[in-house]
Structure 1
Amino acid sequence: MEQRFQLWGRLLTESKHHIEAVYDLLGVKLTPDDYHGESTYQPVLADIADELTRCGLARISDGALCVFLDGFTGRDDKPVPLIVRKSDGAYGYDATDLATIRYRAQKLKGDRLIYVVGAPQSQHFQLIFAAARTADWVGPATETDHVAFGSVLGEDGKILRTRAGASLKLTDLLHEGVQRAAAIVADREDLTDAERQEIARAVGIGAVKYADLSTDRIKDYVFDWDRMLAMDGNTAVYLQYALARIRSILRRADTVPQSGSAVMLTEPAERDLALVLARFGDTVHTALDTLQPHRIATYLFELATAFSAFYEQCPVLKSDGDVRASRLVLAAHTATVLERGLDLLGIEAPQRL
């Protein structure tokens, strides 16, 4: 038994190293101090079972300790149980998920508990949430959300896999994205090696992130490198390029008026851009309320498109006086919003592209 625990510990350590490597690629700021694996809750599982039994929620069924809740049925209208303790005395996912939500609600005092797990687990988490509320672990003021998401498909319409039929690793996709992006800028003589590496990393990883975040999360989507790395259309690189272009405009300007300076909206394209800019705050709040990041992505694409039309119809650097100043303010504000929006999606924006 001791050897098994030692082996388990080695595997756990290796898993953490892999997770941290993925976090580094994605720019995720979590550290080992921020996450608790299932094994963390092993010492309290017996207490979970006892507490649920004492409050009358759990009872023995076919030798297992189960929680049955009204309104949760499966095939043939049979009640669906949460199996707190199996008939052999072991504990599974139901028990650890119950222990987790109790910890997050009572110890961490979380006011909104968000579970990002695939759509097939919807009923399971509805059961977990309902049981936790019935046990008074989660109060009425605490929100519980299951953020379900669809599947990533290959061009054949099936779950994305390797040619050999194995599941693809996220790290492999991220590295491939960087390699493909590196090929795009490999011949750019106006860039240093460091700039090419920075762009390749930002564009490649941004493409993978944006493909996932720009789609309504509940829907399946087809993973297509050509589409994801296209310089036009609703892609990360299109937004990154739009921001880089605006930054170039601002660098070439002698001075850029401060935010809050007067803006004149005399042309339709100026007005259209200003109206899109005004919606940023509402878009972010809606995305947070609904837990739908694709709303931010859709907005950023609309903003970049509006700026492109504005730039084509309203000369910026070639204008004079107050008109020039006004258009520079619009350009600077657009850059700020694009940068903040991409940052909310966890996507880097290289200075040049």
Structure 2
Amino acid sequence: MNATQEQLKVKFQQAMGAAFGAEYAETDPILVSTNNPKFGDYQANVSLSLGKKLGQQPRAIALAILEKLDVSDICEPPEIAGPGFINLKLKTTYLEAQLNAIQSDPRLGIAPTKNPKRVIVDYPSPNIAKEMHVGHLRPAVIGDCISRILEFVGDDVLRISHVGDWGTPFGMLIAYLQTEYPEALTTDETLDLGDLSSFYRQAKKRFDTDEEFKEVARQAVVQLQAGDERTLLAWKIVCQLSSRAYQVIYNLMGIAPFIERGESFYNALLPEVVEELDKLRLLVENQGAKCVFLEGFTNRDGEPLPLIVQKSDGGYNYAATDLAAIRYRVKVDKAQRVIYPVGAEQTNHFAQIFQVGRRAGWITDNIEFVHAPFGLVLGEDGQKLKTRSGDAVRLQDLLDGAIAKVRADLEKRLQEDKREETEDFINKVAEVVGVSAVKYADLSQNRTSSYIFSYDKMLALQGNTAPYMLYAYARIQGISRKGDINFEQLGNAKVLLQHETEITLAKHILQLDEVISAIEQDLLPNRLCEYLFQLSQKFNVFYDRDRGVRVLDAEEPLRTSRLVLCDLTAKTLKLGLSLLGIEVLERM
């Protein structure tokens, strides 16, 4: 709900209290934005919901509300439509005042939340010793975007990467390196991550076929858990090498810094988790393993499904580590909201560990743990995006491919236009547009859906794409250069809205807080992408000579007013794109 809706809500509640008694003074007026301008800007649907309670026709209720409702400072006289909908159209003078008030505000009039929370966002969480691939794209960009939006809202956000850096895969890799490439485990300068990934595949193959090696790998895990110096050094080298390689990709993608807190961090806390669950009588021994039997989950025979917390050999699994993380995040981090942007295939896993967390008393009604699931990145064939050899596409290759395509297209256009630019300019534009296109293509999809990865679609200069958005921003900066205007020196010039396209653009600019408020709740970044796309479209209509208005050659005071509208559009685009983790360009 935006600031305007908040004001209208208060006025409606006052009117309902006056019309029907104090007990109705807190009734929700059910205010929604209208999709069709002919019905105004907002519609209040409360009359229909009050019909049964008051024993009156909704239209009569609407009339009674309007008799007590004073919105003359915000809206034109309200109208009743259909069975009792109350339609509200914002006054042009009100819109002008709102725009004038936010001109010099870097937050564009969006106030921070009055109730900030300590929030943890768990991303991107790759597995150490493996190269990042296309499967790591979505958690990285979605997690980063959600974190940026919640920070902007005013929450205290902890970004935590729960990396896989412990357990059998490490015993397997370390055992392989100790036997085949012992010199690699003396310093992290000997290998690169590509070598490490190759060694990991070889180690996995040997682990699956060689019983003797499998035992050596298991012993390496035991040594690692026992703190053996030589094994621990090998583990640290592998982790440092992986983190350094990942950071190169995060930097390229513009992913904001986060805390790396791997599975190893919780290793020492696992016995405490088992002990506490045991004291609460939640643990049941089943075939030597310690389990929590889940409510609402059954096996093929219809019997309650056990969640194994400690295996029969005394070892722990992912569920135990995740439970330790839940407990730590509540008791030590003091989190009030924990968000996991993780693939939809893990939905059952999160439902199970959240259930155990609630039954243990770690998750309460005042602490929200939420799984924000997302779909897959698909190839043109509608299957998981893979290389010809069947491997997952490396994330670095995906980004490099987009940058190369943008660079080739840019160089071609510069040549056709006989326009000379420096190599630094070309490199910067290619990198920003290429990486932004990949990120925006992901964020612009409803995260719960899978989508087809297509360079042609994401790099298109038309449509809901990053290039279209970046071009709209650069076009406005071009207006300032063409007119030799410094937007910062426009001062607090008065906005005057006369033309239909000006009013439409103004209304849209003022809806950003409503969009951000919605994303704060439902964690769907595509709402912001759609908002920015519509903003760019509305600006292009406003600036179009045939459909819109003159700007640089308009007479004063309309010229300055329209330049302020241009500047506010650019500021809104820049702020919105920054919340998506996308950098703007002054020129393209």
Q: TM-score, normalization: structure 1? A: 0.95
1:4, distance to aligned residue in structure 2 (A): 4.4
Structure 1 match to 2:584: 349
CA 1:217 to 1:271, structure 2 compared with 1: closer, same or farther past 3 Å? same
1:252, distance to aligned residue in structure 2 (A): 3.0
1:210 aligns with 2:445: no
Query: Structure 2: which amino acid aligns with 1:296?
Result: L
CA 1:206 to 1:281, structure 2 compared with 1: closer, same or farther past 3 Å? same
Does structure 2 conserve the Cα–Cα contact (< 8 Å) formed by 1:110 and 1:142? yes
1:51-90 matches, within 5 Å, as 51-90=276-315
2-structure distance, mates of 1:247, 1:90: 60
Q: Percent identity?
A: 41
Listed as ranges, the gaps of 5+ residues in structure 1 are none
Structure 2 match to 1:300: 532
2-structure distance, mates of 1:5, 1:255: 59
Q: Deviations over 1:158-207 (max 9, x none)?
A: 00001221101112111111111111222423422111111111100001
Q: Deviations over 1:46-102 (max 9, x none)?
A: 111111101111111121111123223344433232211011111010000001111
1:160 aligns with 2:385: yes
1:5, distance to aligned residue in structure 2 (A): 4.0
Does structure 1 conserve the Cα–Cα contact (< 8 Å) formed by 2:490 and 2:560? no
RMSD: 1.6
Residue aligned with 1:66, SS: strand
1:245-260 matches, within 5 Å, as 245-253=475-483, 254-256=485-487, 258=490
Does structure 2 conserve the Cα–Cα contact (< 8 Å) formed by 1:74 and 1:80? yes
1:14 aligns with 2:241: yes
Residue aligned with 1:87, SS: coil
Instruction: Give the total of aligned pairs.
Output: 351
Within the candidate set 179, 182, 201, 2:404 is matched to 179
1:239 aligns with 2:469: yes
Q: Deviations over 1:216-271 (max 9, x none)?
A: 00101000000110000110010000000011112333354647532222111111
2-structure distance, mates of 1:324, 1:79: 71
1:118 aligns with 2:343: yes
Structure 1 match to 2:562: 327
List 4+ stretches of structure 1 deviating above 6 A: none
2-structure distance, mates of 1:251, 1:106: 55
1:14, distance to aligned residue in structure 2 (A): 2.1
1-structure distance, mates of 2:353, 2:491: 48
1-structure distance, mates of 2:442, 2:355: 30
CA 1:74 to 1:219, structure 2 compared with 1: closer, same or farther past 3 Å? farther
Residue aligned with 2:569, SS: helix
Does structure 2 conserve the Cα–Cα contact (< 8 Å) formed by 1:259 and 1:333? no
Structure 1 match to 2:92: none
1:194 aligns with 2:424: yes
Residue aligned with 1:321, SS: coil
1-structure distance, mates of 2:385, 2:247: 23
1:229 aligns with 2:459: yes
Does structure 2 conserve the Cα–Cα contact (< 8 Å) formed by 1:263 and 1:327? yes
2-structure distance, mates of 1:85, 1:119: 25
- Greater C-alpha Rg: 2
Residue aligned with 1:186, SS: helix
Structure 1 match to 2:334: 109
Residue aligned with 1:77, SS: coil
Listed as ranges, the gaps of 5+ residues in structure 2 are 1-222
Residue aligned with 2:281, SS: coil
CA 1:90 to 1:177, structure 2 compared with 1: closer, same or farther past 3 Å? same
Between stretches 131-140 and 294-303, larger displacement belongs to: 131-140
Within the candidate set 550, 553, 559, 1:315 is matched to 550
2-structure distance, mates of 1:55, 1:308: 62
Q: TM-score, normalization: structure 2? A: 0.58
Structure 1 match to 2:376: 151
Between stretches 333-342 and 104-113, larger displacement belongs to: 104-113
Between stretches 116-125 and 80-89, larger displacement belongs to: 80-89
Within the candidate set 483, 499, 502, 1:270 is matched to 502
Structure 1 match to 2:173: none
Query: Structure 2: which amino acid aligns with 1:285?
Result: S
Residue aligned with 2:313, SS: coil
Query: Structure 1: which amino acid aligns with 2:567?
Result: A
2-structure distance, mates of 1:283, 1:226: 28
1-structure distance, mates of 2:494, 2:455: 43
CA 1:58 to 1:258, structure 2 compared with 1: closer, same or farther past 3 Å? farther
Does structure 2 conserve the Cα–Cα contact (< 8 Å) formed by 1:259 and 1:329? no
Does structure 2 conserve the Cα–Cα contact (< 8 Å) formed by 1:45 and 1:96? yes
2-structure distance, mates of 1:104, 1:159: 33
1:40, distance to aligned residue in structure 2 (A): 0.9
Between stretches 338-347 and 178-187, larger displacement belongs to: 178-187
1:145, distance to aligned residue in structure 2 (A): 0.9
1-structure distance, mates of 2:339, 2:297: 21
Does structure 2 conserve the Cα–Cα contact (< 8 Å) formed by 1:151 and 1:220? yes
Does structure 2 conserve the Cα–Cα contact (< 8 Å) formed by 1:250 and 1:332? no
